[in-house]
Amino acid sequence: MKILITNDDGIESEGIRALVDWARNYGEVYVFAPNVEQSGKSVSVELRHPFRVEKVDYPGATEAYAVYSTPADCVRFAVLGFGMKFDLVLSGVNKGQNLGHDVNYSGTAGAVTEAAMHGIRGVAVSASKKSLANAVANFDKVYNYFIENHLFDVCKTYNVNFPSKEVRGIEITRLGGVRFSDRYIPQGDGTYQPEAYVCFELTGDKGIDLDAINQGYISVTPLTWSRTDYKVLEMLK
Q: What is the pLDDT of residues 149-192, one digit of tens each?
A: 999 999 999 999 999 888 999 999 999 877 777 889 899 999 99
Range(s) of the domain holding residue 38: 2-173+204-236
Residue 229 · residue 179 · CB < 8 Å:
no
In a domain, 26, yes or no: yes
In a domain, 146, yes or no: yes
Residue 29 · residue 61 · CB < 8 Å:
yes
Domain count, the chain: 1
In a domain, 199, yes or no: no
Phi-psi region of 174 (alpha: psi -120 to 50; beta: other; left: phi over 0): beta
Query: Where residue 44 falls among pLDDT bands split at 50, 70, 90?
Result: confident
Other Cβ atoms less than 10 A from the Cβ of 168: the count is: 13
In a domain, 197, yes or no: no
In a domain, 157, yes or no: yes
In a domain, 115, yes or no: yes
Distance separating alpha carbons of residues 145 and 22, to the nearest angstrom: 16
Answer whether 0.85 is exceeded by the pTM. Answer: yes
Residue 204 has a pLDDT of: 81
Other Cβ atoms less than 10 A from the Cβ of 230: the count is: 9
Range in 18-32, 95-109, 143-157 with the lowest mean pLDDT:
95-109
In a domain, 180, yes or no: no
In a domain, 189, yes or no: no
Other Cβ atoms less than 10 A from the Cβ of 88: the count is: 20
Instruction: Say which CATH number the domain at 81 has.
Output: 3.40.1210.10
Residue 83 has a pLDDT of: 96
Residue 224 has a pLDDT of: 92
